[in-house]
C-alpha cells in the first residue's frame, strides 16, 4: 500500500519549513468556551474513557492518564504563553523558517467590546520574537476556541454574530499586521461544525445536521467577510483557511464504492471550499489520513495505526494535494500534518513518507509553498485531553521541560540539508 520513497527531494527555494500550534492547546490558562466545558465534563469523560477507548491497541499504556479527570482539563499545559521564547528556540534548532500559531480571541476581547491592551502587547512581542529569528509567522484567527460571551450569544450559529468575529479580525490584524503576511481565518471549519453541532463531542454538544450546516455556512460567510476586510486594509495579506482534507478512495471496483468515495470527498472538501475559494490567496491544507471506501462504508487498511487508532497513510498526501490543486489552482501550504506517537516509533517514517509524497506532487506540477508539522509541542488534544502526543518536542507537564524527540532532531537535519542544497 505505502510506496517506498526513492524520490529525490528538492523543494522550492523559498519553501516554508515549520511547525504549528494553536493557542488553547499550548498556551495554558485560557478562559473560553472550551475551558468552561472542560470543567463541566472532565469527570464524565474520565469515567467513560474505558468504554470509549479500550479497543485501542495501546489502551494499557494510556489507561492511567485517560481515566484521570485532570487529563481533560487543559489547565496550565506547556505554559507556552510565557515560555514562547524557549519554544521558538526549538524552531531555530530544527532550522525552521515558519511557524503557525493562533491568537486567542478570549484573551484579546475578554468581554464584548473590551480590548485587553496587555494581551495585544503580548502577541506583538510574540510575533517580534519570531521575526527576530527570521521565522515567518502564519497567524490563525479562529482555531476552535471562542470567548465565552460570544458562544453565550449563540456563536457561529447566528449569522448576525459574524460581525463580532470580523471586528476582532480587523482589530488584531491592524495591531499585528505590519509583521504578518499569512493569515488563516478559520481552522478546519467542517471538523468544528461536525464535532460541535452534529457529533455532539465538543461544546456546545449539539447533535443536529441542520445546525451543522447552518454553522458551516456561517463560517464560509465569516471567511468571505474577513478576507474582504483584510484585503481592503492591505492587499499584501495572504488570506486562507486551513482545510482538513482526508483523501477518499474506493477500495474495490464496485460502482457504489466509487460513488460513495466521491460523495464523501465532495461533502468534506468541496461543499465548503466552493463557497470561499474566490476569497483565498492560497490554500491551507491539513492532512492526517485517508478514507478507503467499500460500498458506503469507510474501512481503512489499519496496517499501522497511530496512538489515536488513526490509520497511517502518510504518502497519500500526494493525492490529496494533487486533487485540490487540480480543482482550485491555488498555491498550497500544508498547514498541519503529523501523528500521535508518544513513543516516537513512527514519526520519522511518517515524515519521510510525507516528504516523498509532497515531492511527487511537486513533480507533477502542484505549487506547494510550505509544510508546517503538527505540532511543535505536545498539546491539549481537545476532547481526548493531554494523553495524545503530537509534539516534535515532548513536554513534561510536571516540570515544564521540553525535549526534542529523536525524530525531531533528525527532521531538523533534513530541513537544514534541504534548505542548503538549492
The three-state DSSP-derived secondary structure of the chain is CCCCCCCCCCCCCCCEEEEECCHHHHCCCCCCHHHHHHHHHHHHHHHHHHHHHCCCCCHHHHHHHHCCHHHHCCCCCCCHHHHHHHHHHHHHHCCCCEEEEECCHHHHCCECCECCHHHHHHHHHHHHHHHHCCCEEEEEEECCCCCHHHHHCCHHHCHHHHHHHHHHHHHHHHHHHHHCCEEEEEECHHHHHHHHHCCCCCCCCCCCHHHHHHHHHHHHHHHHHHHHHHHHHCCCCEEEEEEECCEEEECCCCHHHHHHHHHHHHHHHHHHHHHHHHHCCCEEEECCCEEEEECCEECCCCCCECCCCCECCHHHHHHHHHHHHHHHCCCEEEEECCCCCCCCCCHHHHHHHHHHHHHHHHHCCCCEEEEEEECCECCCCHHHCCCCCCCCEEECCCCCCEEECHHHHHHHHHHHHHHHCC
User: Of residues 328-347, which lie at the interface with ligand BGC (CB under 6 A)?
Assistant: 336
Looking at the Cβ atoms of 243 and 360, the one nearer to ligand BGC is 243
Q: Which of 156, 272, 371, 374 forms a contact with ligand BGC (CB under 6 A)?
A: 374
CA distances from 11 to 305, 316, 341, 358 (A): 28, 18, 26, 9
Cα separation, 340 vs 310, whole angstroms: 9
Q: Which of 188, 190, 269, 307 forms a contact with ligand BGC (CB under 6 A)?
A: 188
The distance of closest approach from Cβ of residue 187 to ligand BGC in the complex, given in angstroms and rounded to an integer, is: 5
Q: Which of 172, 206, 381, 404 forms a contact with ligand BGC (CB under 6 A)?
A: 381
The distance of closest approach from Cβ of residue 341 to ligand BGC in the complex, given in angstroms and rounded to an integer, is: 12
Looking at the Cβ atoms of 218 and 306, the one nearer to ligand BGC is 306
Looking at the Cβ atoms of 100 and 360, the one nearer to ligand BGC is 100
The distance of closest approach from Cβ of residue 286 to ligand BGC in the complex, given in angstroms and rounded to an integer, is: 6
Q: Which of 19, 22, 241, 376 forms a contact with ligand BGC (CB under 6 A)?
A: 22
Looking at the Cβ atoms of 386 and 402, the one nearer to ligand BGC is 386
User: Of residues 191-220, which lie at the interface with ligand BGC (CB under 6 A)?
Assistant: 191
The distance of closest approach from Cβ of residue 380 to ligand BGC in the complex, given in angstroms and rounded to an integer, is: 8
Looking at the Cβ atoms of 318 and 381, the one nearer to ligand BGC is 381
Q: Which of 33, 74, 166, 187 forms a contact with ligand BGC (CB under 6 A)?
A: 187
Looking at the Cβ atoms of 136 and 336, the one nearer to ligand BGC is 336
Looking at the Cβ atoms of 311 and 381, the one nearer to ligand BGC is 381
Looking at the Cβ atoms of 23 and 148, the one nearer to ligand BGC is 23
The distance of closest approach from Cβ of residue 200 to ligand BGC in the complex, given in angstroms and rounded to an integer, is: 17
Site map (CB under 6 A) of ligand BGC, residues 45-84, x = contact: ----------------------------------------
Site map (CB under 6 A) of ligand BGC, residues 259-298, x = contact: ---------------------------x------------
Note the residues at the interface with ligand BGC (CB under 6 A): 22, 25, 187-188, 191, 244, 286, 336, 374, 381
Amino acid at each position: 500500500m505505502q510506496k517506498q520513497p526513492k524520490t529525490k527531494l528538492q523543494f522550492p527555494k523559498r519553501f516554508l519549513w515549520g511547525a504549528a500550534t494553536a493557542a488553547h492547546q499550548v498556551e495554558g490558562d485560557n478562559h473560553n468556551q472550551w475551558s468552561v466545558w472542560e470543567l463541566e465534563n472532565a469527570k464524565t469523560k474520565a469515567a467513560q474513557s474505558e468504554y470509549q477507548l479500550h479497543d485501542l491497541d495501546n489502551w494499557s499504556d494510556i489507561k492511567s492518564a485517560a481515566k484521570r479527570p485532570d487529563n481533560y482539563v487543559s489547565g496550565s499545559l506547556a505554559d507556552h504563553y510565557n515560555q514562547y521564547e524557549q519554544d521558538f528556540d526549538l524552531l531555530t534548532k530544527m532550522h525552521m523558517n515558519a511557524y503557525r500559531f493562533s491568537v486567542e480571541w478570549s484573551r484579546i476581547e475578554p468581554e464584548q467590546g473590551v480590548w485587553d491592551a496587555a494581551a495585544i502587547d503580548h502577541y506583538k512581542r510574540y510575533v517580534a520574537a519570531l521575526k527576530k529569528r527570521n521565522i515567518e509567522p502564519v497567524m490563525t484567527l479562529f482555531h476552535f476556541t471562542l470567548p465565552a460571551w460570544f458562544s453565550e450569544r449563540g456563536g457561529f450559529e447566528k449569522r448576525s454574530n459574524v460581525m463580532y468575529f470580523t471586528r476582532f479580525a480587523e482589530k488584531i490584524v491592524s495591531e499585528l499586521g505590519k509583521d504578518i503576511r499569512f493569515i488563516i481565518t478559520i481552522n478546519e471549519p467542517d471538523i468544528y461544525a461536525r464535532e460541535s453541532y452534529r457529533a455532539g463531542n465538543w461544546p456546545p454538544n449539539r447533535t443536529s445536521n441542520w445546525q451543522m450546516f447552518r454553522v458551516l455556512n456561517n463560517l464560509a460567510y465569516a471567511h468571505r467577510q474577513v478576507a474582504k476586510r483584510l484585503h481592503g486594509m492591505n492587499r499584501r495579506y495572504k488570506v486562507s483557511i486551513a482545510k482538513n482534507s482526508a483523501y477518499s478512495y474506493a477500495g474495490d471496483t464496485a460502482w457504489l464504492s466509487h460513488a460513495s468515495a466521491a460523495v464523501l470527498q465532495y461533502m468534506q472538501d468541496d461543499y465548503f471550499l466552493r463557497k470561499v475559494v474566490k476569497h483565498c490567496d492560497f490554500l491551507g491544507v491539513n492532512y492526517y489520513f485517508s478514507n478507503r471506501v467499500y460500498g458506503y462504508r469507510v474501512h481503512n487498511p489499519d496496517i499501522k495505526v497511530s496512538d489515536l487508532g488513526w490509520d497511517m497513510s502518510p504518502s497519500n498526501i500526494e493525492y490529496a494535494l494533487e486533487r485540490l490543486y487540480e480543482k482550485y489552482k491555488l498555491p498550497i501550504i500544508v498547514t498541519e500534518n503529523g501523528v500521535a506517537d508518544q513513543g516516537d516509533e513512527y514519526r520519522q517514517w511518517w515524515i519521510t513518507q510525507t516528504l516523498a509524497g509532497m515531492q511527487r506532487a511537486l513533480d507533477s506540477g502542484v505549487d506547494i509553498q510550505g509544510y508546517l508539522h503538527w505540532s511543535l509541542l505536545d498539546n491539549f488534544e481537545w476532547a481526548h485531553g493531554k494523553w495524545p502526543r503530537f509534539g516534535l518536542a515532548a513536554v513534561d507537564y510536571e516540570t515544564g521541560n521540553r525535549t526534542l524527540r529523536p525524530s525531531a532532531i533528525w527532521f531538523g537535519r533534513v530541513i537544514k540539508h534541504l534548505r542548503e542544497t538549492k
